[in-house]
A and B are shown apart, each in its own frame.
Chain A
């Protein structure tokens, strides 16, 4: 079993749609969680950290459920520019472990 698992997608959604990604992690000792965004053939960039209380940044909302060991990302009012691969990350004990990513394509 992979340490961090994500549905690879692709998720094809129309502009303006709301889309949600989930991610599960297997190591209950994981301490911190993040969502990164990676555009094609580019380096990953931090989208947002994920806090136990949940957090929101504009159109993006992240949630953490430690009991079920999953993390979610909600994107509201999707834009064409949101098209990318979204990487879920769990960290702890010297490592940041990345999921394989969920590909999102927002269609005009």
Chain B
């Protein structure tokens, strides 16, 4: 009975490289959220997706960041040309419904370090 699975758990990139973070929601969940958490700070909403649709990306930086949730496979958060300020923990969460009244289940996070 797997929960939300994120990989990689830790990722090290040099400035200018690309980072790809993957998230498989819980079984039966079709709603995925990505959050970013900087050290000693709170969770900042980035994007909300359903299968093949981006519903709300108001928290995503306009450049270098993109997200997708294809019909088959995990959701992917992609960061191009990473900079040191991208170093953070990126958490994925899933929910069963879009009614925003239910529990969000989080993965263990992907910790990105940019050298």
B-contacting residues of A (Cβ < 8 Å)?
A: 31-32, 34, 41-46, 49, 87, 91-101
Contact = CB atoms under 8 A, between A and B. Distances in A.
Nearest to A93: B100
B64 to A, nearest CB: 22
Contacts of A31: 100-101
B101 A44 contact: no
* B91, B93, B98, B101: residue with the most chain A Cβ atoms closer than 10 Å: B101
Nearest to A94: B56
A43 B3 CA distance: 12
A31 B102 CA distance: 11
Top 7 A-B pairs, shortest CB-CB distance: A100-B42, A43-B106, A98-B43, A91-B100, A94-B56, A32-B101, A46-B103
A87 B106 CA distance: 14
Contacts of A96: 33, 45, 93, 100, 104
Contacts of B25: none
Given A96-B100, A98-B42, 8 more contacts: A31-B100, A32-B101, A41-B89, A44-B106, A87-B43, A94-B48, A95-B56, A98-B45
Contacts of B104: 44, 46, 96
B35 interface: yes
Interface string B37-63: 000011111001000000110100000
Interface string B96-115: 00101101101111000000
Given A44-B106, A45-B106, A32 B100 contact: yes
